[in-house]
């Protein structure tokens, strides 16, 4: 379908004003206006900040959208699934609620206070800190007390999806669910995103890509731009493809009895055990009815890669067997119901090379996510999105 070309950018040099906001700082950066005369730039009212298309309603997408909430930006999020939150996901089944992706928000030291402030800003109703500690185990299955018994482990009685939900509630964004972006095209300064049903979305002046790196690389490989930008796109695609990922297959193991242990979770510290992580979802308020136990078992990347597609009736008993041995309770070999989730692109192991990604900004194409910052953490993805949103619109800072 033919898209109408984006209106010409109109930049007015004004003396003052608090509503100055422009992703078109590009003009300043590229030296179109000499800095002394560029006291302030304001777009005309019809083109106040422009239209922004974000691919992905995970935490990075939510961060971008929330930080643009105070602007005139017309923000649309295209999300392939029915919900929001991406890998910070929650499911409900048989009266239980469980987080089958990210378990909790555990901000690193530098982020602890701003993340704690953010989470209470998003609403303290239902926001809980898991009291029980995380302990460790090694390849032999020997369990030891952890060294961070007091570390924050933020969660919500309604589950981890609350993080993105609450942030998006504060964002003036339109979320289009069930839309999987397949290709992107830029003509005469206007972006159109076409989904897998061949429906076009846009035009957008700016596009932000937030899927995990391999999925973003696939989108970049299907991106076309008029003008001399092919080399720029190819170099960014290669950089994004190069981000290494860990695969995790998560099993949800339910039991009709209580499990009495002094810890919430166990983490494998030498990365040589078939189980990477196991935790007791009943330690989270509002997740599991009294008298029941629901374990989240995240299998190691090696186990998960090898057995990613193995049928549940073969894979789950094997996982449950490893968990039972680790926790030291034979009853755990026999859950009364199970569920699973494969995360092919669970966690990035490194950050993308920044330079080729930044080079895309000249064509109003941006990326955000845990793989941009190189930390597979919910809060890191969110803050990366926030920082990008603020860069798109300095007046929100």
- Give residues in contact with ligand FAD (CB under 6 A): 55-61, 78-81, 86-88, 101-106, 180-181, 210-212, 215, 248, 250, 298, 343, 346-347, 369-370, 376-379, 381
Of the pair 49, 105, the CB lying nearest ligand FAD is at 105
Helix %, strand %, coil % of the chain (to 5): 30, 30, 40
Of the pair 55, 324, the CB lying nearest ligand FAD is at 55
Q: From the CB of 123, what's the least distance to ligand FAD, in Å?
A: 19
Q: From the CB of 168, what's the least distance to ligand FAD, in Å?
A: 11
Look-up of token digits 């196991």: 278
Of the pair 44, 196, the CB lying nearest ligand FAD is at 196
Give the strand pairing for 127-129 and 223-225.
unpaired
Of the pair 295, 347, the CB lying nearest ligand FAD is at 347
- What six digits make up the tokens of 321? 């067997």
Of the pair 44, 120, the CB lying nearest ligand FAD is at 120
- What six digits make up the tokens of 344? 């092919």
Of the pair 295, 346, the CB lying nearest ligand FAD is at 346
Q: For residues 296-333, b (16+ Cβ closer than 10 Å) or e, as one string? A: bbbbbbebbeebeeeeeeebbeebbebbbebbebeebe
Q: From the CB of 375, what's the least distance to ligand FAD, in Å?
A: 7
Closest CA to 183 of 169, 202, 166: 202
Contact criterion met (CB below 8 Å) for 274 and 322: yes
Q: From the CB of 4, what's the least distance to ligand FAD, in Å?
A: 23
Q: E strand or H helix at 264, and its extent?
A: none
Contact criterion met (CB below 8 Å) for 280 and 131: no
Closest CA to 202 of 50, 60, 70: 50
Q: From the CB of 61, what's the least distance to ligand FAD, in Å?
A: 6
Q: From the CB of 369, what's the least distance to ligand FAD, in Å?
A: 3
Q: From the CB of 111, what's the least distance to ligand FAD, in Å?
A: 10
Closest CA to 250 of 362, 342, 331: 342
Look-up of token digits 């060294």: 147
Q: From the CB of 193, what's the least distance to ligand FAD, in Å?
A: 8
Of the pair 292, 370, the CB lying nearest ligand FAD is at 370
Q: How many CA atoms lie within 13 A of 288 on its CB side?
A: 23
Of the pair 24, 377, the CB lying nearest ligand FAD is at 377
Of the pair 363, 367, the CB lying nearest ligand FAD is at 367
Q: From the CB of 218, what's the least distance to ligand FAD, in Å?
A: 8
Give the strand pairing for 206-209 and 365-367.
parallel
Contact criterion met (CB below 8 Å) for 135 and 265: yes
Closest CA to 323 of 310, 338, 342: 338
């Amino acid at each position: 379908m033919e898209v109408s070309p984006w209106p010409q950018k109109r930049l007015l040099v004004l003396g003052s004003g608090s509503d100055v906001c422009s992703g078109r700082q590009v003009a300043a950066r590229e030296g179109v206006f000499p800095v002394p005369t560029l006291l302030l730039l304001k777009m005309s009212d019809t083109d106040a900040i422009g239209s922004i298309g974000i691919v992905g309603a995970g935490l990075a997408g939510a961060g971008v959208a929330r930080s643009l909430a105070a602007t005139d930006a017309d923000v649309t999020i295209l999300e392939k699934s029915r919900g929001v939150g991406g890998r910070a996901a929650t499911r409900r089944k048989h009266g239980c609620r469980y987080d089958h992706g990210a378990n909790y928000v555990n901000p690193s030291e530098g982020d602890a206070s701003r993340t704690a402030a953010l989470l209470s800003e998003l609403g303290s109703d239902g926001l809980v800190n898991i009291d029980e500690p995380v302990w460790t185990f090694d390849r032999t299955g020997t369990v030891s007390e952890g060294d961070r018994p007091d570390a924050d482990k933020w969660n919500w009685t309604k589950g981890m999806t609350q993080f993105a939900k609450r942030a998006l509630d504060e964002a003036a964004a339109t979320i289009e669910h069930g839309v999987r972006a397949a290709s992107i095209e830029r003509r005469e300064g206007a972006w159109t995103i076409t989904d897998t049903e061949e429906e076009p979305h846009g035009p957008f002046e700016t596009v932000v890509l937030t899927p995990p790196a391999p999925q973003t690389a696939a989108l970049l490989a299907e991106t076309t731009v008029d003008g001399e930008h092919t080399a720029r796109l190819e170099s960014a695609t290669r950089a994004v493809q190069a981000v290494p990922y860990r695969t995790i297959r998560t099993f949800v193991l339910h039991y009709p009895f209580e499990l009495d242990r002094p810890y919430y979770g166990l983490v494998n510290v030498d990365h040589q055990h078939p189980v990477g992580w196991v935790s007791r979802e009943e330690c989270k308020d509002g997740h599991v009815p009294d008298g029941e136990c629901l374990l989240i078992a995240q299998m190691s990347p090696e186990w998960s890669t090898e057995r990613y597609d193995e049928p549940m009736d073969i894979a789950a008993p094997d996982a449950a067997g490893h968990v039972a041995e680790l926790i030291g309770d034979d009853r755990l070999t026999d859950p009364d119901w199970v569920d699973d989730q494969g995360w092919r692109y669970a966690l990035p192991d490194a950050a993308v090379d920044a330079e080729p990604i930044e080079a895309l900004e000249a064509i109003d194409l941006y990326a955000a996510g845990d793989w941009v910052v190189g930390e597979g953490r919910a809060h890191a993805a969110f803050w990366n999105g926030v920082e990008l949103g603020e860069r798109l619109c300095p007046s929100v800072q």
